[in-house]
Each structure stands twice: as C-alpha cells, then as structure tokens.
Chains A and B, each alone.
Chain A
C-alpha cells in the first residue's frame, strides 16, 4: 500500500512538472494533434485518402509512443541521474521500481490524452474512423507502450549523460521505425533487414495495433503479442540489473 501512495503522489508531481516544461505539453500533446488535423484537412478533398492517413493512424500512434518512450524517457532519466535527483531519491524510502513506474504512468497518461484528442479530431474528418473495438485497441496501446518503454529503460540505464541520450536514442528510434513496416512492407526489405525488422518489437507493435484498429482479434496477432511480452520481460529484467543511480 505504501508503494501505491508513493506512486500516486510522485506521478501527480511529475505530471505537473512535465506540464510546466515549455515544450512539455505543446510538444507531446498539441503538436501531434495539430499535425494530425493539418494532414487530415490536406487530404480531405481527395476521393481516396492515402493509406497513411486513412488507415495507418495507429502507426502514427506507435511512432509517437516510441518517441516518447525512447527519447524523452531516456533523456529524463539521464538528466535525473546526472543532476543527482535519482541519488537524492535513493536516500528515501522510495522504491526504485516506484520511480521507474512513475515515468511509465506519466507517459501513458499523456499518450492517452493525445489519443483521445486525436480520436475526437478524427471523428470530425473521417466517418467511421474510430476502431470497431476501442477497448481492445486501448489495451493494445498499453501493451505496446509498456513493452517499448522497457527498452527505453535499458537505454536510460546504460547511457551516462543526457547529451548522449538524445543522439543514441534517435539513432535507435529512427532506424527501427524506418524498417517497422510503416513506410513500406517488411517483405520489400532486403533479406538481412527483414530479420532485423522481425526481431524489432516496434515492427510487432505496428502489426498488432494495425490489426486491432481494423477490428482483428488478438489471437490473429499472437506472434506480435508474444514478442512484445517477451521483450517486456527481458528488458525489465535487464534494466533492473543495470540501472544506475548516479
């Protein structure tokens, strides 16, 4: 029970702090939504909207989650470590797991807000654009988020300073996103890259969310679910071991 009250309080404080960042609320919530509306308006006149806009909204969401997970999380943890915040927290009864979970919860909360805003915006522009099974899709988003966030924790644990966190996170992020099946099908990739793409949890996240958005059941994407769960288990175990307080 102690941990729950710690988590609740710390999460609330962290959300407030985050919203005070000049780019916090704008960059994380407003820009994706505005981008979404602008794209939607741009393609509205077309009889057949490109697949990217009309169908692949979930993919856009995945990219957004990955950016949130890998970049901002890595940077936040690196800054916290570098400036001694983690060390200060270590000298309290606060559990390390609570600190880590807090940032996951904060990310998920902000992701949910953005998603909800997008859903509202999307309803205006496309008829029938909400998924047939919203709850199922929402659960999918949580699974994908948590799985990818656990990758972010490993990176955050290993990368020493915030200055390195950003470029290293970006390299990882953009290379994995580029082969995730978002821009072209994985089967069009060269053989070697297909292997990398299929090993990447991002690819499976794209697959699962794309399926859930269009009304598929979880069973038909069991491989993706399995990969995401395995990734979560492995990454959590590793990051717990290698996490550095200072």
Chain B
C-alpha cells in the first residue's frame, strides 16, 4: 500500500480560533478514508487544506507526492473535488456544467456516460436551480469524477438529503472505490462512516483523537456486547457465571446481559442451551461508532 495523502502536524487558525491543531494522518491507495466528527470540529478545514483550497498555517501536506498548496495544475488534473455547500450558476444546465468541466482538464471521461451512470441523463437540460438536493450532489460527484481522478474528495456529501437519496449516493461512493480510486471523505453521520469507510479518523475541537477501522475502534473503546433475553422463567443468577459477563439484571421482565469479549454472545447461547431455557425473544446489541464517539468525547456527535 502506498500513501496517497500524507498530513503531518497540520495547523490552521482563524483569528484566535484554532480550527485544526496538530493533525497528522495518512490515506492509503484504494481505501475510503473518513474524517468524522461534529460540525465545527475542523473536518472541512483539514480537507480544504489537503485539497489546496486553503493554506495551512503550519505543517506539511503531500498529495500524490506533491504539495497541494502550490495549486499545481498537474495535481489538480489527478484529483476530483466535491466541496461542502458549493453551488453553481443558478441557470447553468446540467450538460453545460459537465461540458465546461470537460474543457478544464486535459484527460476526461465521457460526460454523457457519467451522467447516465449517476442517473442524471434525464436531467441533462435542467437548470442547476431546478435540481433537487440529491440531484445537485450527484452532479457535483459527476464534476468531481470528470477528469477520471485517482483521488476523490467528498465533503459532507449527504448532509441535508433524505434517506433514500443518501442510500443512492452511498452506492455511488462504493462504486468509485470499486474502480480502484481512493476516496477521502468527511461526515458527521456515523451510519455513513460505518457503511462507507475502511478507516476513520475522529476529530474533535481541531484535534485528531482516534484513528483506525470501525471494528478496531469499537474493540478498543466499546468492547461490551449487550444481550436482551425474554424467557418464560428466567433468573439472572444462571448467567452470572459465564465468562466475560459484567452485568446481569432483569428490567421490565427482560434480562439484560452485558459482557466483553468476542465469545460473550456464544457463551450466552451455550448457557441457554445448557439450562434448556425456553426463549421467547433474543436480541443482541453491538456498539457502533456513535458509542465510540460518545465514549471518547463524553457527548453525542449531534450535540
């Protein structure tokens, strides 16, 4: 694996506000890397420094072996960028935007085919202002892909979209990866990062506080599994002896079992079988990145 992006000790302030504080990470070729954190955590600033849209105060950035700060044409030809809250001219038509972008790069893919793949072929004569939020985002993805980039930046891609549109966009991002591209994205949606990202970096108050795959982060910070068990005649004591159990109690007639370790759930099932308990309902709850975030920062990502 080679690093496509190398960021070390990145710093950026706006006046007295430190937006990004000593952030270092790398993005490997072919992966989907997510920068996750609440609004205002410094995700967009970090990403825009890497894109070369913003100039960092300190630190070094290498994108495809080059410094993005120089606005090098050579680099811009190899990356694709989708910016948060970007707009186009209100009355520009979809095909005109794609056509304009095609002119800007020396090597491009077939714009019409791209529109078709992104489900925008029927909208090719529609003005930008008349597109829905999801269609606008799909157009921005098209523009980010027009130069067949090796590396694609997606900033808060699905913010403000309905769940249906969000799923469609996720499918598209996964397809970008299938084509062998590297994707660097930011999101404050934990579901999005779990669905898309190979690795995530958690950023809070401008500092990078964790980095790894979702499974690694969960295992590291939230190893507990919870089993909810409903049975005709169940007592907590039966389960208190199984390995890894941390808590066994009955709430509203449902047995809550909390434990750590990969084998915890199987142990519970074995115990049920052993004692021939007649189970009417069995549910497990796995911690997710949301829980990891809560554990790391003490607050929910939406606060």
Residues of A within 8 A of B (CB): 5-6, 9-10, 13-14, 16-17, 20-21, 80, 83-85, 87-88, 90-94
* Chain A residues whose C-beta falls within 8 Å of the C-beta of B91 in the assembled complex: 17, 20-21
Question: Does B76 have its Cβ within 8 Å of any Cβ on chain A?
Answer: yes
Q: What class of interface size applies to chain B in its complex with A? A: 20 to 34
Question: Does B248 have its Cβ within 8 Å of any Cβ on chain A?
Answer: no
6 pairs of A and B residues whose beta carbons are closest in the complex: A83-B87, A88-B86, A20-B91, A9-B103, A91-B81, A84-B86
CA distance A80 to B89 in the complex (A): 8
* Chain B residues whose C-beta falls within 8 Å of the C-beta of A20 in the assembled complex: 91, 127
* Chain B residues whose C-beta falls within 8 Å of the C-beta of A84 in the assembled complex: 83, 85-87
Chain B, residue nearest A92 (CB): B104
Least CB distance from B70 to A in Å reads: 13
* Chain A residues whose C-beta falls within 8 Å of the C-beta of B89 in the assembled complex: 13-14, 17, 80, 85
Residue with the highest number of chain B CB atoms closer than 10 Å, among A5, A80, A87, A91? A91
A13 in contact with B86 (CB, 8 Å) = no
Least CB distance from A8 to B in Å reads: 8
Q: A13-B92, A20-B127 are in contact. Are A88 and B87 (CB under 8 A)?
A: yes
Q: A16-B96, A21-B91 are in contact. Are A91 and B104 (CB under 8 A)?
A: no
B53 in contact with A87 (CB, 8 Å) = yes
Q: Chain A: interface secondary structure?
A: helix
Question: Does B209 have its Cβ within 8 Å of any Cβ on chain A?
Answer: no
Q: A84-B86, A87-B86, A88-B87 are in contact. Are A93 and B76 (CB under 8 A)?
A: yes
Residue of A13, A80, A87 near B83 (CB, 8 A) is A87
Chain A, residue nearest B84 (CB): A84
B85 in contact with A93 (CB, 8 Å) = no
CA distance A135 to B218 in the complex (A): 75
Least CB distance from B46 to A in Å reads: 15
A13 in contact with B96 (CB, 8 Å) = yes
B87 in contact with A6 (CB, 8 Å) = no
Question: Does B109 have its Cβ within 8 Å of any Cβ on chain A?
Answer: no
Q: A9-B103, A85-B88 are in contact. Are A92 and B83 (CB under 8 A)?
A: no
In B27-85, the 8 Å CB interface with A consists of 51-53, 73, 76-77, 81, 83, 85
Least CB distance from A14 to B in Å reads: 8
**A and B contact pairs by CB, cutoff 8 A, 8 listed:** A9-B103, A14-B89, A21-B91, A84-B85, A85-B86, A87-B53, A88-B88, A92-B101
Least CB distance from A1 to B in Å reads: 11
B53 in contact with A6 (CB, 8 Å) = no
Chain B, residue nearest A9 (CB): B103
Least CB distance from A77 to B in Å reads: 12
* Chain A residues whose C-beta falls within 8 Å of the C-beta of B77 in the assembled complex: 93
Residue with the highest number of chain B CB atoms closer than 10 Å, among A10, A84, A88? A88
CA distance A226 to B79 in the complex (A): 45
CA distance A9 to B99 in the complex (A): 9
Question: Does B100 have its Cβ within 8 Å of any Cβ on chain A?
Answer: yes
CA distance A9 to B104 in the complex (A): 9
Chain B, residue nearest A80 (CB): B89
Question: Does B282 have its Cβ within 8 Å of any Cβ on chain A?
Answer: no
* Chain B residues whose C-beta falls within 8 Å of the C-beta of A94 in the assembled complex: 104
CA distance A93 to B105 in the complex (A): 7
CA distance A46 to B127 in the complex (A): 50
B83 in contact with A91 (CB, 8 Å) = yes
B104 in contact with A6 (CB, 8 Å) = yes
Least CB distance from B147 to A in Å reads: 9
A10 in contact with B100 (CB, 8 Å) = yes
CA distance A151 to B188 in the complex (A): 43
Least CB distance from B19 to A in Å reads: 15
A5 in contact with B103 (CB, 8 Å) = yes
In B205-260, the 8 Å CB interface with A consists of none
A92 in contact with B76 (CB, 8 Å) = yes
Least CB distance from A105 to B in Å reads: 15
A93 in contact with B73 (CB, 8 Å) = yes
